A and B are shown apart, each in its own frame.
Chain A
Amino acid sequence: MTTETAEMTTGSHPARKPVQELEEVTVRFAGDSGDGMQLVGTQFTRSSVIFGNDVCTFPDYPAEIRAPAGTLAGVSGFQITFSSHDILTPGDKVDALVALNPAALKASLGDVRPGGVVIVNEDAFGKTDLKKAGYETNPLEDDTLKKYQLYKVPISTLNRKALEGSGLGPKEVDRCKNFFSLGVVYWLYGRPMEPTIDWLDAKFGKNPVVCEANKKVLKAGYFFGETCEYITSAFKVAKATLPPGKYRRISGNEAISLGLITAAHLAGKDLFYGTYPITPASDILHTLAMYKNYRVKTFQAEDEIAAVCAAIGASFAGALAATGTSGPGLDLKGEAIGLAVMTELPLVIIDVQRGGPSTGLPTKPEQSDLLHAVFGRHGECPLCVIAASSPSDCFDAAIEASRIAMQHMTPVILLSDGFIANGEEPWRIPDYASLPKITVTHPTESNDGNGFLPYQRDEDSVRPWVLPGTPNLMHRIGGLEKKDVSGGVCYEPENHQRMTELRATKIANIAEKLPLQTVQGPAEGDLLVLTWGGTAGAAGTAVSRVQKRGCSVAFANVRHLHPLPRNLGPILANYRQVLIPELNTGQFRFLIRGHYGIDAVGLNKIQGKPFLVSEIESKIMNLVATNGGNR
């Protein structure tokens, strides 16, 4: 850590304070769900990426839109980690917490590292506020915050003073206080204010009073940080050395949306997205609905079943068809997904997983739909399951799911989760021209001389995708068992066995076309840490930390969960132990044991929260230690 004295970039105040240089910082904004914490978090993220840091974010908000103000149930938080190096996961411990009320303080304090900065809105710690949060005594006055750097800022008062004569009513004035707190933190970490000022101009240009008020309190907060006596030092996080290229911020749900549109263009198709609103998947609908000039047809159906069935109809008619949902919706779609398996039509089903069962934890991440995705339908019903491992990876995963679906005539379930769906990270924008086209053929000639055989398969066991409207190739498909080749309804015993095996073979064969599983670290050794989905970031970071300490530990993240990569079995055999951290009770471990007869070690967290790097790191160290220590 270096210390220097710097002049901050904004304003002409002569105040100088010492600046400490840090590699990585985690900030959390916490307040009532109506306090605009998600908004300031997003602004802080924009500012940080434009400054040049690598970032990783984790919005954490309650299921209730407006839980009773001031209570723990209503606390909404937004956590962002920004760094001067490559990061894969939001930080374990919070370096600076902004708490706009006692409930926010109470809910988040346990995550703040000792010695960390705690900025509170002093004005919000009245008797009633404390009572609502369940504090018997005022934590600002007892020893509760002794081990932290506490900054008591009368945010409400300062905000009101700054906006005297602004023309806004008292309620509107108070609504600006989130931008005051943002200003303070901007100063604290030397963030540029311009991106937020530009955003305010663009967003509220038509309402200059609101626009100016927010700008004014943002700056007031910034200058407060600079001039107030008790905030004694600022921090600096240098720009990250990311690979050269053009970047943007992206969340998982945005990346899935962009991936679907891109896949449709790569295949020369319209995109049809049939869905029903559900947390945390709805943003995919919101995003896609904005891109009608890309020939995107969004259909908000009357229910989950109609959503998937409409997508199946659109697929039959020739669109790239997708449906998005979360666990409860995947339950409802089950029968229709079986229909897509039987009719062998392309279909992308996105499951943004959340805590279950039933309504469960709608806004919290979990990885507990894996076995449901692989097995959760009646009958022998094989399909492809793949997982996205980070917000930006959702883009590639959506293209991959679409490609497999259309080229292999199968439903594909793409698993995301609430963590990567809402989390954001910088994304190096790919070059569209470099993305491989998705070749799709729709036969227009008979494959039989005097008719058309809808279940005549090619060398990959794939049946032809003939579109309604094609002369002379009229045919009927449906959920009843099909006669091999001809596709007529058929109840013959041998035929059912043959068709069941053909459907399984078709899916199993896809593994032959998939890339081989890769491993980071030693090709054999004591321990392989094996992950799938959104756990990859924390596990990968944990592994590289222990590798730096000389441990013989390797890391592999599996994208293709069904079928599994064809070289995964031999890879697993190269390690004495396999550790599978996952946000469920051991579903991937169960799958791995079933496929390869390997008893992996589980690390299972079912708290509606992603893994901390340290949790995985200490599990690895335990395993390595009992296994003979470092090499």
Chain B
Amino acid sequence: MTTESLHVLTPKDYATDQDVRWCPGCGDYAILAQIKKVFADLGLPREKVVFVSGIGCSSRFPYYMETYGFHGIHGRALAVATGVKAANPDLSVWVATGDGDGLSIGGNHLIHTIRRNLDINILLFNNRIYGLTKGQTSPTSELGKRTKSTPWGSIDNPIHPISLAIGAEATFVARTVDVNVKHLAETIKRAAQHVGTSFVEVYQNCVVFNDGAFEYASGKETKAETTVYLEHGKPLIFGANRDKGIRLNGLTPEVVKLGGDIKEDDLLFHDEKAKEPTLAYLLARMQSPEFPEPIGVFRDVEAPCYEAEMERQLQAATAKLGPGTIEKLLNSGDTWTVSA
């Protein structure tokens, strides 16, 4: 039997025979296309990939990828993915989840999976609405948002996914936008290459129940003023004329206009490798309309992975105690012999 690594893989090789059933115009199509492209670029053998999901529009993802796939139950994709990766660390494990699946019913698993730092990739499709159940408020819906379940406006304070991930000390945290396919692909590639849990929030448009939710961050006219692209080691500059920047005033960021007394060197320089997550968290708090919202990699640091540590303990125990034999196991403890 040949292995896939001998073939040159194309995005098409990752497509299944299933009809893709997302609504026409859904942001998920772009994500699916870029995933296939990146996997082909990276030459990821299809049999080595496992896509795991929970419930929701995003969670249909595994059916559309010609890899191994597991479509689980609502909110539990990360727990299933943990078992897959722990049992076989050789697999490349990907989780497609959404703001409802990953932050509401599955919020607990998100925190704990991130803190364990398994080498898995979490793509959280954030559309700020429940789509599959047809339009209720989600944990990322804005305060005051009118939905079917909140006709008088939402009174729940929203969760900010990036803040949460950094709070749980994720080793890789990034944000990207469905319509910016180039950046989307780059971000997915960075996530794939990171060893440890990668958390990627994708601003994803739901054309049916929350159309235009991210228009401010993706529209041609507005995005230059409402987003700022993060680059490691570079100052935070934005604006259509790249004439605005973010400066730190004590621990508070402020928007400043470049020119005159203010030079690039006065601006906040991004450091995604910073050991402490303080800067990443500060950036995560920058929200529209007061600030341009950061797009890109907030944090990318190295830390031991859970499944590797688990395997290391198994090997350390074996080195110290010798490989276990069942005879030894059964005959351990206090034993005595009854003779005939």
Residues of A within 8 A of B (CB): 46, 49-50, 52, 195, 242-250, 258, 261-262, 265, 270, 272, 274, 291-297, 299, 301-303, 305-307, 309-319, 321, 335-336, 338-339, 343, 429-430, 432, 444, 467-480, 488-489
Could you tell me the distance in whole angstroms from the C-beta of A318 to the nearest C-beta in chain B? 6
**10 A-B pairs whose Cβ atoms sit less than 8 Å apart in the complex:** A52-B336, A243-B338, A248-B334, A314-B84, A336-B76, A339-B73, A468-B84, A474-B66, A476-B70, A479-B71
Could you tell me the distance in whole angstroms from the C-beta of A203 to the nearest C-beta in chain B? 13
Stretch at the interface among B138-146, B278-286, B320-328: B320-328
Q: Which residue of A lies closest to B1 (CB)?
A: A471
Could you tell me the distance in whole angstroms from the C-beta of B128 to the nearest C-beta in chain A? 25
Could you tell me the distance in whole angstroms from the C-beta of B280 to the nearest C-beta in chain A? 23
Complexed CA–CA distance, A444 and B91 (Å): 17
Known contacts being A49-B334, A292-B313, A313-B81, is A336 close to B324, with CB within 8 Å? Answer: no
Inter-chain contacts of A470 with B (CB < 8 A): 47
Complexed CA–CA distance, A296 and B87 (Å): 10
Of the candidates A294, A306, A474, A489, which one forms a contact with B67 in the assembled complex, judged by CB atoms under 8 Å apart?
A: A474
B331 near A246: Cβ-Cβ < 8 Å = yes
Q: Which chain B residues in 172-217 approach chain A with CB under 8 Å?
A: none
A245 near B4: Cβ-Cβ < 8 Å = no
A244 near B47: Cβ-Cβ < 8 Å = no
Complexed CA–CA distance, A485 and B70 (Å): 17
Task: Tell me if B340 counts as interface (CB < 8 A to partner A).
Answer: yes
Could you tell me the distance in whole angstroms from the C-beta of B65 to the nearest C-beta in chain A? 8
Known contacts being A249-B334, A313-B79, A477-B69, is A468 close to B88, with CB within 8 Å? Answer: yes
Complexed CA–CA distance, A294 and B317 (Å): 9
B46 near A476: Cβ-Cβ < 8 Å = no
Could you tell me the distance in whole angstroms from the C-beta of A315 to the nearest C-beta in chain B? 7
B87 near A272: Cβ-Cβ < 8 Å = yes
Task: Tell me if B164 counts as interface (CB < 8 A to partner A).
Answer: no
Residues of B within 8 A of A (CB): 1-4, 16, 18, 45-48, 50-53, 55, 62-63, 65-73, 76, 78-88, 90-91, 108-109, 111-112, 310, 313-314, 316-318, 320-324, 326-327, 329-340
Known contacts being A471-B2, A476-B63, is A297 close to B339, with CB within 8 Å? Answer: no
A317 near B326: Cβ-Cβ < 8 Å = no
Besides the known contacts A294-B324, A478-B70, 5 further A-B residue pairs in the complex with CB atoms under 8 A apart: A248-B333, A309-B73, A339-B73, A469-B47, A478-B53
Inter-chain contacts of B317 with A (CB < 8 A): 292-293
A299 near B82: Cβ-Cβ < 8 Å = yes
Could you tell me the distance in whole angstroms from the C-beta of A478 to the nearest C-beta in chain B? 3
Inter-chain contacts of A315 with B (CB < 8 A): 83, 87
Of the candidates A270, A293, A321, A480, which one forms a contact with B322 in the assembled complex, judged by CB atoms under 8 Å apart?
A: A293
Could you tell me the distance in whole angstroms from the C-beta of B339 to the nearest C-beta in chain A? 6
Known contacts being A247-B335, A471-B4, A489-B63, is A318 close to B80, with CB within 8 Å? Answer: no
B323 near A293: Cβ-Cβ < 8 Å = yes
Inter-chain contacts of A242 with B (CB < 8 A): 338
Known contacts being A243-B338, A306-B112, A444-B1, is A274 close to B330, with CB within 8 Å? Answer: no
B84 near A258: Cβ-Cβ < 8 Å = no
Q: Which residue of A lies closest to B76 (CB)?
A: A309
Could you tell me the distance in whole angstroms from the C-beta of B168 to the nearest C-beta in chain A? 11
Of the candidates B18, B87, B111, B327, which one forms a contact with A313 in the assembled complex, judged by CB atoms under 8 Å apart?
A: B87
Known contacts being A309-B80, A468-B91, A469-B88, is A49 close to B326, with CB within 8 Å? Answer: no
Inter-chain contacts of B316 with A (CB < 8 A): 292
Among A270, A272, A313, A319, chain B packs the most CB atoms within 10 A around the CB of A313
* 6 shortest interchain CB distances as A-B pairs: A478-B71, A313-B83, A476-B69, A294-B324, A309-B79, A310-B83
Could you tell me the distance in whole angstroms from the C-beta of A173 to the nearest C-beta in chain B? 29
Of the candidates A46, A317, A429, which one forms a contact with B330 in the assembled complex, judged by CB atoms under 8 Å apart?
A: A429
Complexed CA–CA distance, A291 and B320 (Å): 12
A336 near B73: Cβ-Cβ < 8 Å = yes
A312 near B83: Cβ-Cβ < 8 Å = yes
Inter-chain contacts of A49 with B (CB < 8 A): 334, 336
Q: Which residue of B lies closest to A50 (CB)?
A: B336
A262 near B334: Cβ-Cβ < 8 Å = no
Known contacts being A244-B339, A248-B333, A302-B112, is A297 close to B88, with CB within 8 Å? Answer: no
Complexed CA–CA distance, A52 and B91 (Å): 52
Known contacts being A262-B330, A313-B80, is A246 close to B336, with CB within 8 Å? Answer: yes
State the majority secondary structure of interface residues on A: mixed
Inter-chain contacts of B88 with A (CB < 8 A): 317-319, 467-469
Inter-chain contacts of B48 with A (CB < 8 A): 468-469
A313 near B70: Cβ-Cβ < 8 Å = yes
Inter-chain contacts of A46 with B (CB < 8 A): 334
Inter-chain contacts of B335 with A (CB < 8 A): 246-248, 429
B83 near A321: Cβ-Cβ < 8 Å = yes
Inter-chain contacts of B330 with A (CB < 8 A): 248, 258, 262, 429-430, 432
Inter-chain contacts of B82 with A (CB < 8 A): 299, 301, 306, 309-310, 313
Complexed CA–CA distance, A258 and B1 (Å): 38
Complexed CA–CA distance, A311 and B55 (Å): 19
Q: Which residue of A lies closest to B317 (CB)?
A: A292
Of the candidates A305, A310, A335, A467, which one forms a contact with B86 in the assembled complex, judged by CB atoms under 8 Å apart?
A: A310
B68 near A476: Cβ-Cβ < 8 Å = yes
B79 near A305: Cβ-Cβ < 8 Å = yes
Among B71, B91, B321, chain A packs the most CB atoms within 10 A around the CB of B71
Could you tell me the distance in whole angstroms from the C-beta of A195 to the nearest C-beta in chain B? 7
Inter-chain contacts of B70 with A (CB < 8 A): 313, 316, 343, 476-478
Could you tell me the distance in whole angstroms from the C-beta of A573 to the nearest C-beta in chain B? 40
Inter-chain contacts of B85 with A (CB < 8 A): 313, 317
Among A270, A293, A321, A477, chain B packs the most CB atoms within 10 A around the CB of A293
B338 near A319: Cβ-Cβ < 8 Å = no
Among A305, A317, A335, chain B packs the most CB atoms within 10 A around the CB of A317
Complexed CA–CA distance, A296 and B63 (Å): 32
Inter-chain contacts of A297 with B (CB < 8 A): 86-87, 310, 314
Complexed CA–CA distance, A245 and B339 (Å): 6
Of the candidates B83, B313, B322, B338, which one forms a contact with A311 in the assembled complex, judged by CB atoms under 8 Å apart?
A: B83
B83 near A274: Cβ-Cβ < 8 Å = yes
B76 near A244: Cβ-Cβ < 8 Å = no
Could you tell me the distance in whole angstroms from the C-beta of B256 to the nearest C-beta in chain A? 43
A316 near B71: Cβ-Cβ < 8 Å = no
Complexed CA–CA distance, A286 and B85 (Å): 22
A468 near B47: Cβ-Cβ < 8 Å = yes
Complexed CA–CA distance, A488 and B69 (Å): 12
Of the candidates A247, A317, A343, A473, which one forms a contact with B338 in the assembled complex, judged by CB atoms under 8 Å apart?
A: A247
Q: Which residue of A lies closest to B63 (CB)?
A: A476
Of the candidates A305, A444, A474, which one forms a contact with B46 in the assembled complex, judged by CB atoms under 8 Å apart?
A: A474
Could you tell me the distance in whole angstroms from the C-beta of A604 to the nearest C-beta in chain B? 36
Complexed CA–CA distance, A432 and B73 (Å): 39
Q: Which residue of B lies closest to A254 (CB)?
A: B333
Inter-chain contacts of A475 with B (CB < 8 A): 68-69
Known contacts being A314-B84, A316-B84, A336-B76, is A261 close to B329, with CB within 8 Å? Answer: yes
Q: Which residue of B lies closest to A302 (CB)?
A: B112
Complexed CA–CA distance, A557 and B84 (Å): 38
Complexed CA–CA distance, A471 and B16 (Å): 15
Complexed CA–CA distance, A302 and B62 (Å): 25
Inter-chain contacts of B327 with A (CB < 8 A): 432
Could you tell me the distance in whole angstroms from the C-beta of B119 to the nearest C-beta in chain A? 14
Q: Which residue of A lies closest to B82 (CB)?
A: A310
Complexed CA–CA distance, A301 and B316 (Å): 22
B340 near A244: Cβ-Cβ < 8 Å = yes
B326 near A310: Cβ-Cβ < 8 Å = no
Complexed CA–CA distance, A248 and B335 (Å): 4
Of the candidates B16, B318, B329, B337, which one forms a contact with A246 in the assembled complex, judged by CB atoms under 8 Å apart?
A: B337
B331 near A50: Cβ-Cβ < 8 Å = no
A314 near B86: Cβ-Cβ < 8 Å = yes
A469 near B314: Cβ-Cβ < 8 Å = no
A299 near B86: Cβ-Cβ < 8 Å = yes
Inter-chain contacts of B321 with A (CB < 8 A): 293
Could you tell me the distance in whole angstroms from the C-beta of B158 to the nearest C-beta in chain A? 23
A262 near B329: Cβ-Cβ < 8 Å = yes
Could you tell me the distance in whole angstroms from the C-beta of B246 to the nearest C-beta in chain A? 36
